[in-house]
Amino acid sequence: MRPSRICLPAVALALAACGRGPTTPAPSEEPAIVPRPAELEYTGRTVTLGPDVVVSLTGPGSELLAPALDAWTREQTDRFGIAFRPASADEEADLVLTVESVSEAPPEGYTLEVEGERARLAASDPAGLFYALRTLGQLQRRGEAPGTWTLPEIRIDDMPRFRYRGMHLDVGRHFFPVDFVKRFIDLMARYKYNRFHWHLTEDQGWRIQIDAYPRLTEVGACRAETQVEKNFDPFVGDGRQYCGYYTKEEIREVVAYAAERFVTVIPEIEMPGHSVAALAAYPELSCTGGPFEVSTMWGVKEDIYCPSEETFAFLETVLDEVLELFPSEYIHIGGDEAPKKRWEESELAQAVIDREGLADEHELQSYFIRRIERFLTSRNRRLIGWDEILEGGLAPEATVMSWRGMDGGIEAARQGHDVVMTPTSHVYFDYYQADPEGEPLAIGGLTPLDKVYGFEPVPPELTADEAGHVLGGQANVWTEYIATPEHAEYMSYPRALALAEVLWSPVEMRDWESFTRRLPSALAELDRLGVRYRPLDRR
């Protein structure tokens, strides 16, 4: 990667290199882009576009950008009264978007140039062009004349540091309607996230329609009531039935919506633990036979899938239906927090241990995950799971999501496996973001904005080769104590802005002072979008 370069106001773009200008940065003049681009040069001058903006979109695959460009131009028309018109043949456009297969831009990278009353966006793939548009969207300001914009005269060469830039949402503990899920994805995409990890099954609710097993949603999508605050013992419930699931049609709608924003949706179907809602529907999949109720209390449950042939047949059928809905290469199978007590006590589980020559229940979990991996591989998909899948031996091609700190990720990378870093220490957005005293009830922890900004996904312990296995990072939004869309946004923003910069910008461009200078502009955008983020000065 070339060193980052920020040119100064008054350095003409025409200069061959910014080195010829003065060398002291003028930080207050830097256009406020989050995440900060890899390289930018600006002159401090502005250009005006409008009232009629002629647009061209060309190049291989550029049609994939058409829906996003359409949504974007509508937004500009609503905001600024700008009128857009496609360029006719041979007409020179004001806003030029090109996918150029010859461009040197790396995957998802782009160049953006605003000069001479014209904005030129170019990328070697449609995703890069989408990100160029996201950046342009943060640059425009209302012009003096009605229906016009001003843009800074600027040149940007940008590309992501990491290819996996994720956010997760738990819809098991609390259910979030399709409209909110779409909004969550739209917001992510504005800040150049590209993976939405949809945690669809839990002890407290099964949220995805599966035709072969209708009781998963008839029974598993409803719990009798919900735990009130932290009343575990004695348990206090709210006495109100709580239900919700997504139909296949709704899931297709979300996947398509995300694809238009270059976001891949990774479904999570939890196994062998966090499966009480499924066991309530089909108790024969457990080791004890049940009966079970969909959990009303938070926490880790001892009842998990029994490793019977019936369970594997069930999971493969469920996964086949899931694969039909989600084109994602990665399928998340959970794997975390699966107590081994039921397997220790189960004749069937012990017989599997004997039959397969396994040392203990941890190796049995490994056997379980390997079987599921073999199945996914046979369908040309890849398995990703929480770091407990390391215990008892990692499945051959598995990717590890390291959540209990970085150690699981370090170990997996050393074994030559890919990893996604999601440690509780920095990116659990269900944790408090300020002194709990003034905050709504949260699960615990304390992860303020600057802590998220300081997250480094590549641990210093890794060699360069091993570090190459770190695909990126992800924020996790677990929802035991997050019951509404408003609250989910409050917990996610502005922290998601900080993480966006961690995952996109080169390390040398990451600078807390700079980020806090650019933050007010980003928050103004969130205000405009009606995002109910946590205000910085809230007490």
Kindly state the smallest distance separating residue 528's Cβ from ligand ACM, in Å.
33
Tokens of 450: 């600057």
Contact 81, 151 (CB under 8 A): no
Q: What is the DSSP letter of 286?
A: B
Nearer to ligand ACM, 336 or 407 (CB): 336
Nearer to ligand ACM, 336 or 344 (CB): 336
Q: Name the nearest CA neighbour of 158 among 186, 123, 197.
A: 123
Nearer to ligand ACM, 176 or 403 (CB): 403
DSSP notation for 69-83: HHHHHHHHHHHH--E
The stretches of 239-305 forming alpha helices (DSSP H) are 248-260, 276-281
- Phi/psi zone of residue 289: left (φ > 0), alpha (ψ -120 to 50 degrees), beta? left
Nearer to ligand ACM, 134 or 332 (CB): 332
Kindly state the smallest distance separating residue 460's Cβ from ligand ACM, in Å.
24
Contact 53, 84 (CB under 8 A): yes
Residues 151-180 that bind ligand ACM (CB under 6 A): none
Nearer to ligand ACM, 337 or 439 (CB): 337
Tokens of 344: 């220790």
SS3 453: helix
Kindly state the smallest distance separating residue 264's Cβ from ligand ACM, in Å.
20
Kindly state the smallest distance separating residue 359's Cβ from ligand ACM, in Å.
25
C-alpha–C-alpha distance, residues 328 and 514, integer Å: 35
Nearer to ligand ACM, 337 or 407 (CB): 337
Tokens of 159: 């590309």
Kindly state the smallest distance separating residue 305's Cβ from ligand ACM, in Å.
17
Half-sphere exposure of 387 (CA within 13 A, CB side): 19
Residues 321-350 that bind ligand ACM (CB under 6 A): 336-337
Kindly state the smallest distance separating residue 494's Cβ from ligand ACM, in Å.
22
C-alpha–C-alpha distance, residues 206 and 486, integer Å: 22
# residues near ligand ACM by CB under 6 A: 4
Kindly state the smallest distance separating residue 335's Cβ from ligand ACM, in Å.
9
The answer to whether residue 481 forms part of the interface with ligand ACM (CB under 6 A) is: no
Residues 398-427 that bind ligand ACM (CB under 6 A): 403
Nearer to ligand ACM, 186 or 336 (CB): 336
Kindly state the smallest distance separating residue 403's Cβ from ligand ACM, in Å.
4
Distances (CA, A) of 57 to 67, 119, 123, 181: 12, 12, 12, 29
Nearer to ligand ACM, 191 or 403 (CB): 403
The answer to whether residue 386 forms part of the interface with ligand ACM (CB under 6 A) is: yes
Kindly state the smallest distance separating residue 390's Cβ from ligand ACM, in Å.
13
Kindly state the smallest distance separating residue 206's Cβ from ligand ACM, in Å.
17
Nearer to ligand ACM, 42 or 403 (CB): 403
Contact 150, 140 (CB under 8 A): yes
Tokens of 158: 């940008």
Per DSSP, which regions of 195-243 are E strands?
195-199, 201-202, 205-206, 222-223, 227-232, 235-237, 242-243
Distances (CA, A) of 506 to 445, 503, 520: 28, 8, 22
C-alpha–C-alpha distance, residues 22 and 45, integer Å: 17
SS3 420: strand
SS3 21: coil
Kindly state the smallest distance separating residue 405's Cβ from ligand ACM, in Å.
12
Nearer to ligand ACM, 80 or 431 (CB): 431
- Phi/psi zone of residue 472: left (φ > 0), alpha (ψ -120 to 50 degrees), beta? left
- The 96-115 contact track toward ligand ACM, x by CB under 6 A, reads --------------------
Nearer to ligand ACM, 330 or 386 (CB): 386
Residues that bind ligand ACM (CB under 6 A): 336-337, 386, 403
